[in-house]
């Protein structure tokens, strides 16, 4: 054991390992004969096929894979004969399971997402957007004939076919609501000859009890969906023949869906016998994978290892009953997990670098009371390095998640481990407005974005200091997007609250973001801050751009030059007004988040030097 000051410890998690651990597993689905299809977004976007005979095979040729409506997602669909995927800026491609390359089915530069192949293999339904209007399009898988079949709502997601191909279901919602505040589950009858959808009905949802994730049971009897019950969420069934609705799983203290910033979210899946449903149950920062019996509503934990603390993209193979999901834990990167015949196998890892767990910090959940008496939640990660130690309390990062309707759950972070293994503490703050803690907690930020999130960031730092987890005088506040907004507000309105700060593509001007952002978030501020001109004072008081000169703590600013969500001019105007010590990086070719290895390398090296200088 070597004794060396915090922040100066040597770690095997170097900048190259940090880069290799980046990216995400985006979508997972069963294909032909129990094979698994997975999309991976790293510096490129690839679609992989895994089967027992041939192992891993990349399927997308020279075309990148990824849905592009909103924040993306809804990358592909597959049946027993073919795979259809979206390609950014190119359109839709189709291919078989053989070695032949994919062919272009639909050529368009418009944004596409969530292709769904009809049960007879003749048609494809998918979401299309020109950035102003969204609609559902139908394409023939034979000749590529196109038709707009559903329009009128502002947004669409999650289209699915009934097993006999005579009906479809989808989710839609309208401005000024975000999907988790106003989405509706819809159904419509499909005419194969006229290629039209009629008899459109609302199954569930709306502004009081939003609903999403429709799934037809394989026998065609039910349509399952997730719906708010007021404070939490239920999994409900709609009986298609009788029109009766009933709750299958009551969500007291739990949530089953997640905020639909991206397309293609899937946290439920039917078994082939139509008598069981696989689902994810989330409580705070942890989620479990469970199975419910449809006849009696009994639930049981799915047979997955307990080391995993979260699950995304759940799937069931209708023929074999095998289940799969993207599984996460605090001590390893995300993996694609397959469970069949009582055996669990890891099919795919985002990163092949497996680090010993004694280098990875363990989570400690903490909470404190806000000024209004409500509890606020966070997770602290202490410095951890088996070869180094030091006395006293460590300096710490205070991480503010983006969204702001999101959560920092218990999943591995390469950035966090990079710094905790060097002797820094790390606090993930799930401020009021975060998901996983019920609708009251979620809605607590409405009208107070720029106030309660800042209060909770400072409250989390104070709590960690009082508990003796970190040195309160040596804390850096860091966050991206909405998290960057909180960083800048905390530093400008409470200049002594943190030793330093780092903003990644952070919102700086509420007026500008309400006028110049992508369609999905065009009215997000209506609920988070208020409407103009009525709430003009809030917009000015809570826009860091107008108060940047008050920032005293050293500040690092990182921004993509091609960011469509937070345009780079917001960062430029902020930087021109700064009087504090600062480090600024603008990255060409990067959007809302960084993908290029060279960008991420510069980012981690710049941030490391910054904290060594100022923390």
356, pLDDT greater than 80: no
Output the CA angle 342-343-347, nearest 5 degrees: 140
pLDDT band at residue 280 using 50, 70 and 90 as cut-offs: very high
92, pLDDT greater than 80: yes
Compute the average pLDDT of residues 70-85. Answer: 95
| Right CATH for 153-266 from 2.10.260.10, 2.60.40.10, 3.30.950.10, 2.120.10.30 | 2.120.10.30
Compute the average pLDDT of residues 334-347. Answer: 92
The reply to whether 355-614 shares the fold of 153-266 is: no
Say if residue 354 is preceded by a cis peptide, omega within 30 of 0.
Answer: no
355, pLDDT greater than 90: no
Compute the average pLDDT of residues 319-345. Answer: 94
Structure tokens at 102: 């994919």
Compute the average pLDDT of residues 476-493. Answer: 98
Range with the poorest average pLDDT among 15-24, 268-277, 311-320: 15-24
Output the CA angle 443-444-449, nearest 5 degrees: 100
362, pLDDT greater than 90: yes
Q: Between the CA of residue 602 and those of 19, 244, 249, 472, 488, what are the distances in Å?
A: 10, 57, 47, 28, 22
Q: Which residues contact 192 (CB under 8 A, 6 or more apart)?
A: 122, 165
Average pLDDT over all residues of the chain: 95
Range with the poorest average pLDDT among 37-41, 113-117, 283-287: 37-41
Sequence ranges of the domains in the chain: 27-146, 153-266, 267-354, 355-614
Q: State residue 515's pLDDT score.
A: 86
Q: Are 484 and 539 in contact (CB under 8 A)?
A: no
Q: Are 56 and 37 in contact (CB under 8 A)?
A: no
Topology at the third CATH level for domain 355-614: Rossmann fold (3.40.50)
- pLDDT tens readout for residues 12-57: 999 998 988 888 899 999 999 999 999 998 877 899 999 876 788 9
pLDDT band at residue 421 using 50, 70 and 90 as cut-offs: very high
pTM of the entire predicted model: 0.95
Q: State residue 193's pLDDT score.
A: 87
Is residue 119 packed enough to be buried (19+ CB in 10 Å), middle (13-18) or exposed (0-12)? middle
Q: Are 179 and 527 in contact (CB under 8 A)?
A: no
Compute the average pLDDT of residues 512-536. Answer: 91
Q: State residue 53's pLDDT score.
A: 67
Structure tokens at 268: 């439920």
User: Cα separation of 174 and 151, whole Å?
Assistant: 12
Q: State residue 517's pLDDT score.
A: 81
393, pLDDT greater than 80: yes
pLDDT band at residue 184 using 50, 70 and 90 as cut-offs: very high
Structure tokens at 295: 């006849």
- The kind and range of the H/E element at 424 are none
- pLDDT tens readout for residues 579-604: 999 999 999 999 999 999 999 999 99
Enter the CATH code of domain 27-146.
2.120.10.30
Q: State residue 351's pLDDT score.
A: 79
Q: State residue 365's pLDDT score.
A: 98
Compute the average pLDDT of residues 500-506. Answer: 98
- pLDDT tens readout for residues 121-175: 999 999 999 999 999 999 999 877 788 999 999 999 999 999 999 999 999 999 9
């Amino acid at each position: 054991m070597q004794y060396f000051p915090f922040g100066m410890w040597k770690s095997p998690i170097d900048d190259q390992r940090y880069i290799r651990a980046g990216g995400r597993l985006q979508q997972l689905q069963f294909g032909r004969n129990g094979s698994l299809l997975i999309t991976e977004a790293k510096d490129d976007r690839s679609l992989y096929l895994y089967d027992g005979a041939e192992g891993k095979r990349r399927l997308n040729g020279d075309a990148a894979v990824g849905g592009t409506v909103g924040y993306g997602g809804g990358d592909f669909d597959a049946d027993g004969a073919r795979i259809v995927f979206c390609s950014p800026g190119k359109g839709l491609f189709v291919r078989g399971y053989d070695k032949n390359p994919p062919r272009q089915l639909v050529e368009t530069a418009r944004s596409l997402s969530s292709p769904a192949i009809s049960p007879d293999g003749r048609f494809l339904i998918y979401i299309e957007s020109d950035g102003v209007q969204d609609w559902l399009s139908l394409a023939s898988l034979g000749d590529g004939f196109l038709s707009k079949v559903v329009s009128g709502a502002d947004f669409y997601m999650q289209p699915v076919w009934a097993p006999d191909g005579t009906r479809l279901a989808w989710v839609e919602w309208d401005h000024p609501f975000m999907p988790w505040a106003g989405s509706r589950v819809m159904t419509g009858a499909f005419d194969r000859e006229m290629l039209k959808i009629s008899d459109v009905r609302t199954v569930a949802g709306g502004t009081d009890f939003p609903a999403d994730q429709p799934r037809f049971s394989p026998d065609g009897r039910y349509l399952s969906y997730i719906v708010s019950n007021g404070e939490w969420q239920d999994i409900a069934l709609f009986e298609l023949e009788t029109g009766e609705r009933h709750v299958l799983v009551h969500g007291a203290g739990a949530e089953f869906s997640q905020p639909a910033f991206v397309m293609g979210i899937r946290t439920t899946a039917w078994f082939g016998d139509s008598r069981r449903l696989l689902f994810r149950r989330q409580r705070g920062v942890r989620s479990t994978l469970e199975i419910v019996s449809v006849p009696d509503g009994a639930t049981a934990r799915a047979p997955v290892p307990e080391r995993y603390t979260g699950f995304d993209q759940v799937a069931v193979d209708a023929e074999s009953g095998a289940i799969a999901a993207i599984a996460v834990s605090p001590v390893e990167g995300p993996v694609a997990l397959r469970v069949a015949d009582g055996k669990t196998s890891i099919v795919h890892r985002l990163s092949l670098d497996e680090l010993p767990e004694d280098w990875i910090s363990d989570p400690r959940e903490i909470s404190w009371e806000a000024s209004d008496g409500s509890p606020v939640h966070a997770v602290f990660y202490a410095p951890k390095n088996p070869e180094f130690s030091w006395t006293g309390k460590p300096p710490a990062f205070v991480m503010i998640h983006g969204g702001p309707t999101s959560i920092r759950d218990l999943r591995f972070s390469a950035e966090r481990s990079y710094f905790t293994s060097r002797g820094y503490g790390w606090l993930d703050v799930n401020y009021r407005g975060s998901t996983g803690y019920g609708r009251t907690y979620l809605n607590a930020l409405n009208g107070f974005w720029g106030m309660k999130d800042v209060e909770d960031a400072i409250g989390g730092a104070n709590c960690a200091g009082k508990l003796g987890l970190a040195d309160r005088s040596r804390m850096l506040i860091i966050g991206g997007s909405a998290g960057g907004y909180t960083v800048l507000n905390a530093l400008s309105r409470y200049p002594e609250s943190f030793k330093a700060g780092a903003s990644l593509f952070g919102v700086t001007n509420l007026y500008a973001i309400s006028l110049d952002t992508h369609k999905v978030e065009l009215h997000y501020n209506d609920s988070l801050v208020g409407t103009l001109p009525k709430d003009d004072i809030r917009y000015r008081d809570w826009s860091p751009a107008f108060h940047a000169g008050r920032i005293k703590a050293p500040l690092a600013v990182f921004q993509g030059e091609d960011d469509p969500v937070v345009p780079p001019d917001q960062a430029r105007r902020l930087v021109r007004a700064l009087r504090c010590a600062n480090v600024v990086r603008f990255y060409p070719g990067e959007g809302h988040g960084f993908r290029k290895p060279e960008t991420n390398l510069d980012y981690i090296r710049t941030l490391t030097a910054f904290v060594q200088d100022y923390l």
